[in-house]
Amino acid sequence: MYFFRKKDPNRPISFNLKVMHAINAIAITVFLLGILWKLVEWLIWKKI
């Protein structure tokens, strides 16, 4: 039940947690952009 618990309002917001989430979001974005780039590159080479 870890994912379904309510957020504790008394828990302090950790700077490290914010940084971790930001880096994770950047990594996911770069990964998706890389996949998109490879798909576009593959489609361009497929036409030639």
Across the chain, mean pLDDT equals: 87
Give mean pLDDT, residues 30-38.
97
Is the pTM higher than 0.85? The answer reads no
- Of 28, 22, 47, give the one whose Cα is nearest residue 36: 28
Give the integer Cα–Cα distance in Å for 48 and 46. 6
Is the model's pLDDT at 14 over the cut of 80?
A: yes
| The pLDDT of residue 48 | 60
